[in-house]
Amino acid sequence: MDVGIDNFRHEKVQRFEEFVDRRLKPDLVHAIAERDKVFEQQKVFSDLRRNIENLEKNCITNLRTLVNLGSEVYVQGDVPDTRSIFVDVGLGFHVEFTWSEALKFISLKEERLARQIEEYTQLIASIKAQIKLVCEGIRELLQLPAERTVEGRVF
Amino acid sequence: MEAGRAKGTVTPLSFLFPAQDAHKAATRVQDAISEKERELEHLLGFISDNANLINLVQKLPEELHHEVMVPFGKAAFFPGRLIHTNEFLVLLGEGYYAERTSKQTVEILKRRGKALDSQVDSLKAMMDNLKAEASFFDATASEAEEGLVEIREEYVEENLGEQESGSGVNKQDVPSVSGVDGPKIVEEDAEYACIMSRLDELEKEEELAAANGDQSDEEDEEEKETADQSLEKFYDDKQSYSKGSTSTWLRDENVGSKELLDKYQQQQEASTNPSNCSGLSVQSSSKEDVSSGKNSLAQTQRVRNPNPAAKSVTFAEVKEKNQRSPPSTREAFTGSIIERPPAIPKTSKQETGTPLQPSGSQPSKPVSRFKMQRR
């Protein structure tokens, strides 16, 4: 009997561990990577917003800048009229905005990005919780003494 | 060597390299290879980018300005144009930029391209190495699975010496001839054996030749067959003793005899021969031949008579051999010289009165003696 139970337990522990290693952990890694991407986007748009606000504040209508051709080779670029700006709205579309329109769009976009980040954070937290749950299940199966404080620290 | 003693060790290959481990190693190497491949792709991407950029930089100065969208941050751009199209700001590294013209920029970019190429080359070499390694591991795994065994045996140097000791004659000769005692190199023994056997053959042939002078053809052919190396060395040694007339004698036997066939028939004695020595030898030999075998035989007999004492001693034999043997050292020669004096006058009488007589006379002498001993 004992041997049978032990075998059963052993199998179950193994299956739980596999679930953690092959499903939950890759999911977690993926979710974190996605959230990082969104963070980047957020940074890009906040930069853009700051730049446009700068232009507005200084009333810059024409602009000299350096254009990166790749491999850190720059050529001078001249922008005769800065009042119309093309902003990436996603999926490869760029829309021509004025400064105020652009700022409005950017604030919307930032809001959305913040929501996305929140979602991803939730997702990551839930995945971590699941991992912890499964680990706890394994511990119970093996009838090890609870080490909650220690496990709490791990995640 | 011998079956009785088990000198070697036999280990199954699967013991040294378990098949599983070999497979694991192979897969690991394969992983490394795929990683390198990704790196290589990356580099190739850089190279194509660089080529495109070079093209662009070359074409930009063709126009005064280009209408482009000037990027403004990553997510936005303005409609604008590129101006000052022959001025480029190039990153030199560490945050330093240089202003360059189109041409200069292209040069910089080309140097970068070269660096990339060398990187690609080294990467490819590494991949080749890894591939060889992988194939080796695979081969090892398959061999281990097939139950291959590894047999090892210590290499013992004595073996050679034992083999050589079998030929006692040579050993005797070595010390006597060279006068240098103690352990001689085994190779030399072998060489002596070779040369001595060859000399025996030659002597036999000479006998025959002496009997009927035209047979010298066979000698030549056989000479070629037998160890040329040793004979050559022999000749070299002899020639170095150009004083010692034995060299001429040798010439008679070998080189001279070849030419003799042709030239003797044409009755040209010294004319065609390259060197004095050879010419002399030819003369002497030709005379022998001309005079016919009997004559030569007579020579030999005469030679024999003058120094019976030398013959009687077995050492004399050895010395004679020494004369003919290649590694002849001074001592060996001295032995032969001692025997000479009686022979010289007789031979010289036979030979024509050319100034070269001594050389001619000596060659005939050793031959004769040897024949005597044989008989």
Three-state secondary structure of B173-204: HHHHHHCCCCCCCHHHHHHHHHHHHHHHHHHH
Q: How many CB atoms lie within 10 A of CB B211?
A: 13
Measured CA distances, B32 to B70, B132, B369 (Å): 42, 13, 79
Tokens of A70: 């790749």
Chain B: closest CA distance from residue A146 (Å): 38
Taking alpha carbons only, the member of B98, B77, B102, B101 closest to residue B89 is: B98
pTM of the model: 0.48
Inter-chain CB proximity A48 and B91 less than 8 Å: no
Residue B236 has what pLDDT? 52
Which residues in chain B have their CB less than 8 angstroms from residue A45's CB? 75
| pLDDT single digits (tens) B265-318 | 554 444 444 444 444 444 444 444 444 444 444 444 444 444 444 444 444 444
Give the whole-angstrom CA distance, residue B116 versus residue B113: 5
Confidence class for position B192, pLDDT limits 50, 70, 90: confident
Closest Cα in chain B to A63: B80
Residue B91 has pLDDT above 50, yes or no: yes
CB contact under 8 A, A85 and B57: no
Question: Does the structure show a pLDDT above 50 at A139?
Answer: yes
Query: What DSSP string describes B260-324?
Result: IIIIIHHT--STT-SSHHHHHHHHHHHHHHHH-HHHHHHHHHHHHTT-HHHHHSHHHHHHHHHHH
For the ranges B40-44, B183-187, B332-336, B360-364, the one whose mean pLDDT is highest = B40-44
Q: Is the model's pLDDT at B132 over the cut of 70?
A: yes
Instruction: Specify the DSSP element, H or E, that contains B339.
Output: helix B330-350
Secondary structure class of B152 (helix, strand, coil): strand
- E-state strands within B83-195: 88-93, 96-100, 149-152
For the stretch B203-219, pLDDT in tens is 888 888 877 655 444 44
B83–A77: do the CB atoms touch at under 8 Å? yes
* B-chain residue closest to A61, CA distance: B78
Token pair, residue B215, equals: 């047979």
B76, B80, B81 ranked by CB distance to A87: nearest: B76
Note whether B336 and B267 are within 8 A (CB). Answer: no
Determine whether the interchain pair B69/A86 forms a contact, defined as Cβ–Cβ distance below 8 Å. Answer: yes
Chain-chain contact of A77 with B80 (C-beta, under 8 angstroms): yes
ipTM of the complex: 0.71
Q: Would you call B84 and A79 a contact, using CB atoms and an 8 Å cutoff?
A: no
Residue that the structure tokens 């992988």 belong to: B134
A interface test, pick of B43, B46, B58, B78 with most A CB neighbours within 10 Å = B78
Distance CA(B283)–CA(B299), nearest Å, equals: 16
